[in-house]
Amino acid sequence: MTDLWPENLGEQQFDSPVSIMREQANLLGDKTSNLVKAEVKAGSMDNGHFVYHFYIVAPTLNNYHFLLFTVEHEIELYPLEIYIDEVLGKELGAKEPFQTLEEHRKSIADLFESAAGFRVKQTKRLVFRVSSTEQFLDKLRMILASQRVQQVVSALLSQMSFDEAPIPYR
Amino acid sequence: MTTFLFWNLNQKALQESIYRIADVHEVEVIVLAECTVDPAIILTSLNRHGPDYHYAPSPGCTRIQVFTRFPSEFMPVIVESDRATMRRLKTPTMSESVIIGALHFPSKTYMNDFDQLGASPNFVDLVLQAEEQEGHNRTILMGDFNMNPFDMGMVYANGFNAVMSRTIASQRQRTVQGRSYRFFYNPMWGLLGDSSRGPAGTYFYQPSNFSSIYWHTFDQVLIRPELLEVFEHQKLEILDFDGEESLVDESGKPDKSKTSDHLPLIFELNL
């Protein structure tokens, strides 16, 4: 049988967004003596998009998981979207630099206004849209260096600093 | 019996109403959304006759506040985001633990139906993460979903997949295009409009548009099939009275001038 596959199949390899996320996740445990770690979990695929959640994890606090951000992309990897919450979005100014996407979402909102009659003002699902590995690393650096991350990690570490015996149930 | 109260306070100082509802209904778990009152003030109000209630803080969730009648150690956080908190509930009197989730879903003011549909799988992933960690599906999820029970994000298989019928929910899951999705049972379908024993919804909105359904049931509780036996539908209620004062005006709508624009939800589990 004739081999129809090209010779250079798979030659062009690069770090996928999820592998970058996992590499960064692995580094957090080293910095906290594994008291606070990070995990990347695959999420529910929506409309064929790949979804990955980045959690901050405290294994000794009931395996506490905090969802820091979510990445969605199609099979082509880029452009991808990084979804963050309002607290982080406010800190990093996620709304202002991405008017194009906002306008796109607004146009959809105007077209498909809810049957309940609610007027959509603006989206609050804050998002960074990046189109390359370099841009992704840049946004990831902003998120991981944020005060929000400091606050969550510090809160978890401080809860581990005392060991309170459970109070008997009354 | 364990009684739960969920209430979106709309950033109002409603600690007196919370105390009265908790007192009248002997509430054991109080879950509040849009709560801008210092938890210490709410605790002081709840504990005016003794140290009955405890604050169960969240390291990362800023949108939900939880108070419990048992020590908060019996309800630790296991999974969170800014808008959702998933907790394990296991008191010494319970034979097995359950997962209690609460969320404040983004508003229709800021998201259209399609954005809400797109966001719902991310919230469900938090539920699935908690269930994976705990090794069971005995989960209750309450909150201000900012969607009605019939909205796409609530019924979409990849969303909350919440159905109106116990019989259907009892099938545990449905398969769509080769993939399985666990059901939630949504008892709020039984409280829509005049079928409700109380108000016709939890939130009233009357736009000037052609399309309006007036009453919305944004505040909901969803139950996994594994917990159907411990959920009593007759004990699920939308409250319009806090035991001393009405929460609605003369026309029966939430009295926004005095209280929240959302009405509280109360339900019981036989845990």
pLDDT tens for B45-98 read 999 999 999 999 988 999 999 999 999 999 999 999 999 999 999 999 999 999
For A58, phi and psi rounded to 5 degrees? Answer: -120, 95
Average pLDDT by consecutive 10-residue portion of chain A (170 residues)?
87 86 95 94 84 95 94 93 90 58 50 47 69 95 95 90 47
Q: Residues B105-129: what's their mean pLDDT?
A: 87
Residues in chain B: 271
Q: Residues B93-116: what's their mean pLDDT?
A: 88
Whether A59 has its CB under 8 Å from any CB of chain B: the answer is no
- CA B259 – CA B215 distance, rounded (Å): 17
- CA B39 – CA B22 distance, rounded (Å): 15
Q: Tell me which DSSP letter residue A123 carries.
A: -
Q: Give B13→chain A minimum CA distance, Å.
A: 23
pLDDT of residue B38: 95
Chain B partners within 8 Å of A42 (Cβ): none
Q: Where are the alpha helices (DSSP H) in chain A?
A: 17-31, 86-92, 99-111, 133-144, 147-159
Whether A62 has its CB under 8 Å from any CB of chain B: the answer is yes
Q: Are the beta carbons of B205 and A86 separated by less than 8 Å? A: no
> Is pLDDT above 90 for B113?
no
Q: Nearest CA to B195 among B212, B174, B166, B215?
A: B215
DSSP B34-53: S--S-HHHHHHHHTTTSS--
> Is pLDDT above 50 for B223?
yes
For A18, phi and psi rounded to 5 degrees? Answer: -70, -35
Question: Residue B32 in contact with residue B64, Cβ under 8 Å?
Answer: yes
- CA B120 – CA B160 distance, rounded (Å): 7
- CA B111 – CA A122 distance, rounded (Å): 7
Q: Nearest CA to B231 among B133, B100, B123?
A: B100
Give the number of beta-carbon pairs within 8 Å between A and B.
Answer: 142
What mean pLDDT value characterizes chain B? 95
Contacts of A5 (CB under 8 A, 6+ apart): none
Our CA dihedral for B188, B193, B199, B201, rounded to 10 degrees, sits at 50
The tokens of B95 are what? 């034979």
Chain A partners within 8 Å of B211 (Cβ): 115-117
pLDDT of residue B71: 94
pLDDT of residue A114: 44
pLDDT of residue A160: 79
Chain B partners within 8 Å of A38 (Cβ): none
| Helix (H/G/I), strand (E/B), else coil: B123 | helix
> Is pLDDT above 50 for B237?
yes
Q: Residues B173-185: what's their mean pLDDT?
A: 95
The tokens of A106 are what? 């607004």
> Which residue in A70, A87, A112 is closest to B114 by CB distance?
A112
Distance of CA B24 to the CA centre of its chain: 19
Q: Residues B22-47: what's their mean pLDDT?
A: 96
Output B166 or B211, whichever has higher pLDDT: B166
pLDDT of residue A100: 46
pLDDT of residue B148: 96
Q: Residues B232-236: what's their mean pLDDT?
A: 93
- CA A44 – CA A67 distance, rounded (Å): 14
- CA B12 – CA B6 distance, rounded (Å): 15
Chain B partners within 8 Å of A36 (Cβ): none
Choose, out of A95, A118, A121, A157, the residue to mutate when testing the contact with B (most B CBs < 10 Å). Answer: A118
- Check: complex ipTM more than 0.90: no
Tell the burial category of B174 from Cβ atoms under 10 Å away from its Cβ (0-12, 13-18, 19+). Answer: middle
- CA A80 – CA A72 distance, rounded (Å): 6
Whether A94 has its CB under 8 Å from any CB of chain B: the answer is no
pLDDT of residue A120: 45
Question: Residue B221 in contact with residue B187, Cβ under 8 Å?
Answer: yes
Q: Give A142→chain B minimum CA distance, Å.
A: 18
Output B258 or A165, whichever has higher pLDDT: B258
In this prediction the pTM is: 0.86
Q: Where are the alpha helices (DSSP H) in chain B?
A: 15-25, 39-46, 113-134, 152-155, 166-169
Q: Nearest CA to A80 among A134, A37, A27?
A: A134
- CA A49 – CA A26 distance, rounded (Å): 24
Chain B partners within 8 Å of A160 (Cβ): none
Question: Residue A98 in contact with residue A130, Cβ under 8 Å?
Answer: no
